[in-house]
């Protein structure tokens, strides 16, 4: 046991002592190496020992062959010229936490592959301990991450709970470096301003990180556009294809609802029953049954059918090679949509016309893949669903950073997972 522990750890100034096996697992004593000095937990300087606790403290280590392993160590207090009488620092843990750094890292890394409760179950620990392990590693990562060199960001809002609870998420979407950069409560100007406050920390004047951003991909949400215009003054703001499509899909769905109500009012055959997802899906994703239903519906003279066809037609906009021809297509499309006399479609056109410039920026940013934000959006929703039961935004934030933040981790002698 000692040989293995010496192989996987490197605790300078300490040696492993007696190893006992009890009902709770394997207990390993740790002692200070002879003539080694304890270290102040505040400043890390070696100091004379003041006294030693008589009851050993218990630290959980990584289980071996499914047997729990824990360390027993009698903590010392030191007399630090600067910090007075203070408890020592030990290399396998910190403060009052009973989990070793190795165990926290071990649990946290499994928590990327399994749900947190599965991790607790597999490794004979509690959900709370898995949570604290993840929290610790996320905090370490946020403290040590490097935010320099971010050139493209994507901003997205995600509904985190039913009843309009939103969070603002910011991603780095550069080629070769895509990661979650920030999670802020709500989707107000303040949310985004809070993000940039953190993001710019440690930089000032012309060296501000927000001024080095060249591309911002976002929705037409006014609060975001305002802040981006103010803070990222060197960036080109692009409307994300994914968000534009989202608005258009919503318009088609609103037309569908109007049609359903109209058919019902006129006492006609309810042909639109169970059609919602048919109109929301991309045609290539329809099942055989849905495709049959769709071709049947296309035969009816319904407003939703016309709206749907317009939505499909709009896809061509993104295929243009030049902004000029895309712009001509867009304007012609908008005229047709306005003539359609469908309120939701007209509402969409008004939005597009208002932000035409930002929409056209998409063609200047060729190469900046807009699928990235959409991909993150899906993964965020998945993580939020897996983290179901989290009461606070704070815990969701930890889960999201853990899954998508690409955060640095403490270096180890041995990789336990």
Binding flag, residue 40, Zn ion (CB under 5 A): yes
Binding flag, residue 335, Zn ion (CB under 5 A): no
Which of 29, 42, 174, 200 is close enough to bind Zn ion by CB under 5 A?
42
Binding flag, residue 50, Zn ion (CB under 5 A): no
Q: How far is the CB of 11 from Zn ion (least distance, A)?
A: 20
Binding flag, residue 174, Zn ion (CB under 5 A): no
Q: Which is nearer to Zn ion, 80 or 252 (CB)?
A: 80
* Number of alpha carbons in the 13 Å side-chain half-sphere of residue 172: 24
Long-range contacts, stretch 127-130, CB < 8 angstroms, 24+ apart: 129/60, 129/99
Binding flag, residue 43, Zn ion (CB under 5 A): yes
Binding flag, residue 83, Zn ion (CB under 5 A): yes
Q: Which is nearer to Zn ion, 42 or 250 (CB)?
A: 42
Q: Judged by CB under 5 A, how many residues of this single chain contact Zn ion?
A: 6
Long-range contacts, stretch 167-174, CB < 8 angstroms, 24+ apart: 167/191, 167/393, 167/396, 168/192, 168/195, 168/224, 169/376, 169/380, 169/400, 170/195, 170/199, 171/372, 171/373, 171/376, 171/404, 173/215, 173/217, 173/368, 173/369, 173/372, 173/373, 174/149, 174/150
Q: Which is nearer to Zn ion, 80 or 278 (CB)?
A: 80
Q: Which is nearer to Zn ion, 85 or 332 (CB)?
A: 85
Binding flag, residue 37, Zn ion (CB under 5 A): no
Q: Which is nearer to Zn ion, 89 or 187 (CB)?
A: 89
**Stretches 38-46, 131-139, 155-163, 249-257: which one binds Zn ion (CB under 5 A)?**
38-46
Q: How far is the CB of 55 from Zn ion (least distance, A)?
A: 24
Q: Is 117 exposed, middle or buried (CB count within 10 Å of its CB: 0-12, 13-18, 19+)?
A: middle
Residue with tokens 């890394």: 109
- What is the DSSP code (8-state) at residue 16? E
Q: How far apart, in Å, are the Cα atoms of 40 and each of 82, 166, 280?
A: 9, 44, 62
Binding flag, residue 382, Zn ion (CB under 5 A): no
Q: Which is nearer to Zn ion, 48 or 229 (CB)?
A: 48
Binding site for Zn ion (CB under 5 A): 40, 42-43, 80, 82-83
């Amino acid at each position: 046991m000692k040989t293995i522990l010496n192989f996987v750890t490197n605790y300078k100034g300490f040696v492993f002592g007696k190893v006992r096996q009890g009902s709770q697992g394997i207990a390993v004593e740790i002692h200070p190496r002879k003539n080694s000095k304890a270290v102040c937990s505040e400043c890390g300087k070696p100091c004379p020992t003041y006294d030693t606790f008589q009851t050993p403290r218990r630290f959980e280590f990584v289980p071996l062959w499914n047997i729990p392993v824990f360390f027993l160590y009698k903590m010392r207090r030191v007399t630090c010229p600067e910090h007075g009488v203070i408890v020592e620092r030990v290399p396998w843990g910190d403060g009052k936490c009973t989990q070793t750094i190795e165990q926290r890292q071990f649990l946290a890394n499994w928590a990327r592959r399994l749900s947190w409760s599965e991790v607790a179950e597999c490794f004979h620990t509690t959900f709370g301990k898995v949570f604290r392990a993840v929290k610790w590693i996320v905090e370490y990562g946020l403290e040590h991450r490097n935010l320099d060199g971010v050139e493209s960001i994507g901003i997205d809002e995600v509904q985190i709970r039913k009843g309009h609870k939103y969070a603002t998420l910011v991603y780095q979407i550069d080629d070769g470096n895509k990661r979650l950069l920030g999670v802020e409560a709500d989707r107000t100007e303040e949310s985004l301003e809070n993000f940039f406050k953190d993001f710019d920390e440690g930089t000032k004047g012309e060296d501000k990180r927000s001024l080095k951003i060249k591309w911002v991909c976002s929705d037409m949400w006014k609060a975001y556009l305002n802040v981006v215009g103010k803070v990222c003054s060197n960036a080109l703001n692009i409307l994300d294809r994914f968000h534009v499509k989202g608005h258009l899909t919503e318009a088609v769905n609103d037309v569908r609802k109007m049609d359903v109500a109209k058919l019902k009012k006129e006492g006609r055959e309810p042909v639109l029953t169970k059609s919602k997802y048919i109109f929301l899906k991309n045609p290539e994703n329809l099942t055989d049954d849905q495709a049959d239903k769709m071709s049947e519906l296309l035969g009816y003279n319904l407003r939703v059918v016309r709206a749907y066809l317009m939505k499909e037609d709009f896809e061509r906009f993104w295929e243009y090679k030049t902004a000029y021809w895309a712009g001509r297509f867009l304007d012609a499309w908008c005229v047709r949509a306005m003539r359609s006399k469908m309120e939701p479609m007209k509402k969409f056109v008004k939005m597009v016309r208002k932000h035409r410039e930002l929409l056209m920026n998409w063609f200047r940013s060729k190469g900046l893949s807009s699928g990235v934000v959409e991909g993150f959006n899906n993964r965020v929703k998945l993580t939020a669903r897996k983290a179901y039961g989290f009461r606070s935004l704070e815990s969701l934030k930890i889960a999201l950073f853990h899954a998508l933040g690409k955060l640095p981790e403490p270096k180890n002698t041995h990789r336990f997972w």
